[in-house]
Amino acid sequence: MLFERVKLARAAIVNLTNQGYRAHRLAGGGKRALVLRRGSRIGDVPMTKELRTAEQLSDMIVSSLGVNEIEIQIRQDHAYGWQPTVVASPGDLIGYQRRVEQIANRLRLTFALRQ
């Protein structure tokens, strides 16, 4: 993998990869801090997520899909926090699973699974 390193002002170094989001900036005290796409450092503002039950998360996904004949189970996942699984659907199960995972990726930014 070829990395192109670009030196920016204020002692920031950016790795331009095919993903385009890895960047580090020297924080206070000379520590490196991960920089998000929008330029804010992780750790500046605590990111709290709203807690939701598995049933509430499932209902949010179903309402986003706009299909009432679908059944989704939510399970706890150590990597993502929670993971949806399509149990029953009116059509292509794999197609619905892909769409449900896209919706879940957006919802994970705001909501965490209540245990």
Q: What is the pLDDT along the chain (115 residues), one digit of tens a residue?
A: 334 443 333 444 444 444 444 444 444 555 555 544 444 455 555 678 999 999 999 999 999 999 989 999 999 999 999 999 999 999 899 999 999 999 999 999 999 999 8
Give the pairing type, strands 50-52 and 111-113. parallel
Residue with tokens 């706009």: 66
| Residue 27 DSSP one-character state | -
